Amino acid sequence: MSYQNRQWYYVKRPEGRVSDEHYELRDSELDARLSANEVIIRARLISVDPYIRIQQAERNTYDVPHPLGIVQRAGVVGEVVASASALFKVGDAVAAYSGWQLYAKCHHSELTLLDPAQAPVSSALGVLGMPGRTAWFGLMEAGRPRPGDTLVVSGAAGAVGSLVAQFGKRAGCRVIGIAGGAAKCAFLTETLGLDGAVDYRAHPTLDGLRAAIEAATGGVDIYFDNVGGMITDAVIPLIKLRARIIICGAIAQYDGGLDAPELAPRFLQHMLFKRASIQGILARDYTHRMDEMIKTVAPWVRRGEIVSQETYVDGFEQLPAALNSLFEGKNLGKLLVRI
């Protein structure tokens, strides 16, 4: 017996935006025979994340480049369809890092069992997964929020940003989100209950954007940066004494800019003036503390106290286009491809 598999192979490094030429859709048969402790899963939800674009860079980043000629790596929520493991049975929902493929044969040590009664299984790729871990430890450990601090979050309507903003509110901060477009800004203030929102698209010049952020904040104690580029240039001169700047991402630089970045960083003299600190944070540095984050955050999710917004794109064939759409801001919250 075999399974009719479909896989997206990563075959060519993009210089700018990802397109069809960088991926190949291949059909194959997956042999259904299992060795001891092996499990076959069928993907139900596949994650598309900005780091996928970082790892397409030709040179080392925080990781070696994603190899060409293999299935695109990614987080997946799947369903067990065959099992030779005592730990998993057919029908179980699992999280895996099995990539852009319909079926995958995994050793059971590569799988995490999900309990749909505890939280929606999709949360394993969002609020109770890598984005949640990034937001939680990035804000709490690097940001060191105190009640009354003004926290500014760029990319605030996205997967990580929307969680940082809510964790900041729970820590007693005054939270201002920066996002693209009036609808996303309304989501930030009306749905997430933030204290203010700035639509960076409505302010195309650096001076105009800075004035808008200044008017909304009056100064910044913590800047959680998901975007980089002009937004960060606009925020840095607004930092207050002993501000904390967390560099989580620089998505404005990923599609092409990583290899030919803009001249930056600028305005770092303000770090001196305000004796501020700047720290990069990486999700994987906190992987071993996942249980700690889940213990704190899962009860909030269960009680409906955290908005874990998700955007779904339907169809396995849509994966490369969905990845691209992150750079066009089409998602609200976590972007997932539903199979």
Ligand X SMILES: NC(=O)c1ccc[n+]([C@@H]2O[C@H](COP(=O)([O-])OP(=O)(O)OC[C@H]3O[C@@H](n4cnc5c(N)ncnc54)[C@H](OP(=O)(O)O)[C@@H]3O)[C@@H](O)[C@H]2O)c1
User: Among 40, 124, 209, 251, which residue sits at the site for ligand X (rule: CB under 6 A)?
Assistant: 251
The rounded distance, in Å, linking the Cα atoms of 43 and 322 is 16
The interface region with ligand X, picked from 30-38, 82-90, 234-242, 325-333 by CB under 6 A, is 325-333
User: Among 8, 51, 187, 223, which residue sits at the site for ligand X (rule: CB under 6 A)?
Assistant: 51
60 Cβ partners below 8 Å, 6+ apart? Answer: none
Min separation Cβ 47 and ligand X, Å: 9
User: Of 2-41, which residues contact ligand X (CB under 6 A)?
Assistant: none
Does residue number 179 form part of the binding site for ligand X (CB under 6 A)? yes
Closer residue to ligand X in complex, CB, 152/250:
250
Does residue number 75 form part of the binding site for ligand X (CB under 6 A)? no
Q: Cα torsion for 229, 327, 68, 315, to the nearest 10°?
A: 160
Q: At 260, is the secondary structure helix, strand, or coil?
A: coil
Does residue number 129 form part of the binding site for ligand X (CB under 6 A)? no
The rounded distance, in Å, linking the Cα atoms of 70 and 23 is 10
Whether the bond into 265 is cis, omega within 30 of 0 = yes
User: Among 50, 129, 143, 196, which residue sits at the site for ligand X (rule: CB under 6 A)?
Assistant: 50
The rounded distance, in Å, linking the Cα atoms of 7 and 27 is 6
Does residue number 276 form part of the binding site for ligand X (CB under 6 A)? no
Structural tokens at position 191: 């749905």
Does residue number 199 form part of the binding site for ligand X (CB under 6 A)? no
Does residue number 159 form part of the binding site for ligand X (CB under 6 A)? yes
Min separation Cβ 248 and ligand X, Å: 5
Query: Sign (positive/negative) of CA torsion 166, 294, 50, 286?
Result: positive
The rounded distance, in Å, linking the Cα atoms of 339 and 331 is 17
Does residue number 184 form part of the binding site for ligand X (CB under 6 A)? yes
Would you give the distance in Å from CA 163 to the centre of its chain?
A: 10
Residues that bind ligand X in the complex, under the rule CB under 6 A: 49-51, 131, 134, 155, 157-161, 179-181, 184, 226-227, 248-252, 281-283, 326-327, 329, 331, 335
